[in-house]
Structure 1
């Protein structure tokens, strides 16, 4: 075990556990400098420390073995919407989370063929000069719509469309609490990955704009600088991609009408706030009118037509690529979660989390009164189900999610 110890795996597990080197050192009885040496490969942990590391970091001992495909990410390879306000530890955990999402996708591709990546300039994790879209955000959005045959109308099922083009979409669950707090991020490493954090999933309109924003990063920015200019460009791409100027301009009110914007919200799948900004951006209303409209909008936030709508009511905006990939592999090759866990050297519950399955076991809760010994709560059914599409031909998943 010690001879095959992989320093990068220790770093990944420590970041996922949100522990500093000092924290980990204190729990296994060594110095922080020793942990640093383990992670750089200068020294190897003693054999008796391997079980302790596995226990503290909640991974199998085999997790630390070399030989499995990896995707090492750093902050320069991912676009964080809130880079400056995101603590380093949370960024590192989020990056390690994205690494594991990529590893899961890679493992599944041994059993099924996931959709081919269809992004301009993208091939095998490298950007090929001359084949990208226009560097201008609005023009790039129009070019991508044309490439994906989206026409000029509303983009339905945006998340599923991105998955059908080979982009892996992840939505962290409770086990990745800090990854949930990172606003959103994406990376082009090896296979494009976009993490759409649940702090926006309570409103499908914000969720869709975030997805389009990350799509903008993927097609516009090969390097992540974290500056505001890149964020503004991604926002401009998202606005044009979801509401093309030539299509939305004739529909927007010339005099401020929030009710009309609410109707457009439902048709185009963007928030009233975004449509209001679009009105000002396209020169239909003044800054003063926009400011007053925002004030009125805040007073209407809990009213029908203006209140948030969670993505739970919109299946097309919920990621399914990894889960359906596993289900197809399960049907055609007999892949199971325990087998997949052994391939990845993860705990089975970690595999379930990243596949998007909730813990299916009944929950035992003790109550205080003697008359009732326990309360039993049963979670969502445990059976593995197919998504809302028919099975794909052979071991191809593209047709199932497009």
Structure 2
């Protein structure tokens, strides 16, 4: 495990074996580092500390034993994302998952059942089938057809690890299966970038959910990513509910209606237009005209974006991990210093989280 972690961290740092050897303190040869990575040798504790400092990663990342492998990684990325960008993300995600799983182990939480067992599909043959699966999943999870207040909260509730992280600009998210050490059951993780807006965040989460449900497409008639987008759109904006809101057939739709709908469902203006087309409310010609004219920039620049504390935007932040850390802290299973390290917060803030504001202590 150490060898694989070293390779990923070295890619993240953009260093060759020789370049890493040149900045190591204490001095270590490139040949020795190669042997660490291949598992032929183990570094001393002093060298291990030096490797962590040179590579900009924690010893927890290099040595922790919760995560065996991130399998089936699906990146949501710009075409310009580099191998170094991807390695950087893998390091960030692995460190976050190591902390998350360690706290669960400290609290001795039982494993959760596979939330997708009843709806997982190896192949879809049409975009309509992807939409039907989204409706089926809503039914299995007893969600009805109203807007989902928090995609983050929903996924955390069913046992998926949702993590927000400071990713390179060209990567917005990923989904993966987390294979664990000691033959423990694998888990699912969805990770999203801090830099994306609320509309894109919710759609990304739904898109990553689609990848957990649908494994592939049948034949060449449909494209995988388009099928994932169709699932995500249907999951966030169910066709039946949308028709109740705006009518089954329309010749056009006003700008102000679109702005109200995007904030009601928590998706982008472009996604609303696509849903109006996909469920047959607007003709194809009308939506095509919109994207050629007034909606031309909506795919790149969100009109009237939802603010973080506004409407559904107030609920789209992972909360479970922080809650578990404070639970472990309250049970005196971890120290305040360890809690601060896990949450990346100053110690005084952690202490306020335990006791409340100081001015209330003697009230």
Q: TM class by shorter-chain length?
A: 0.7 to 0.9
| Residue 155 (structure 1) aligns with | 148
| Residue 69 (structure 1) aligns with | 66
Q: Helix, strand or coil: the match of 1:137?
A: helix
Alpha-carbon distance between aligned partners in 2 of 1:184 and 1:287, rounded to the nearest angstrom: 30
| Residue 21 (structure 2) aligns with | 25
| Residue 384 (structure 1) aligns with | 353
| Residue 102 (structure 1) aligns with | 97
Q: Helix, strand or coil: the match of 1:188?
A: strand
| Residue 145 (structure 1) aligns with | 138
Q: TM-score scaled by structure 2?
A: 0.77
Superposed counterparts of 1:245-256, under 5 Å = 245-252=239-246, 253-256=250-253
The alpha-carbon distance between structure 1 residues 220 and 385, as it changes in their structure 2 partners (threshold 3 A), is farther
The alpha-carbon distance between structure 1 residues 24 and 133, as it changes in their structure 2 partners (threshold 3 A), is same
| Residue 116 (structure 1) aligns with | 112
The CA deviation at 1:139 is 1.9
Alpha-carbon distance between aligned partners in 2 of 1:133 and 1:23, rounded to the nearest angstrom: 46
- Return the match for 1:14 from 10, 13, 29: 10
- Return the match for 2:87 from 92, 100, 115: 92
Contact persistence 1:184–1:196 (CA under 8 A) = yes
Is 1:41 matched up with 2:39? yes
Alpha-carbon distance between aligned partners in 2 of 1:53 and 1:385, rounded to the nearest angstrom: 35
Contact persistence 1:18–1:90 (CA under 8 A) = no
The CA deviation at 1:330 is 1.2
- Return the match for 2:194 from 177, 195, 198: 198
Q: TM-score scaled by structure 1?
A: 0.70
Superposed counterparts of 1:228-243, under 5 Å = 229-243=223-237
The CA deviation at 1:47 is 6.7
Is 1:186 matched up with 2:175? yes
The CA deviation at 1:148 is 1.2
Alpha-carbon distance between aligned partners in 2 of 1:50 and 1:31, rounded to the nearest angstrom: 14
The alpha-carbon distance between structure 1 residues 247 and 115, as it changes in their structure 2 partners (threshold 3 A), is farther
Structure 2 unaligned residues grouped into runs of 5+: 179-185, 356-363
Q: Helix, strand or coil: the match of 2:106?
A: coil
> In the comparison of the two structures, how many residue pairs are matched?
329
Contact persistence 1:21–1:35 (CA under 8 A) = yes
Structure 1 unaligned residues grouped into runs of 5+: 122-129, 341-347, 362-379, 387-402
What RMSD in Å do the two structures reach over aligned CA positions? Answer: 3.5
Contact persistence 1:170–1:194 (CA under 8 A) = yes
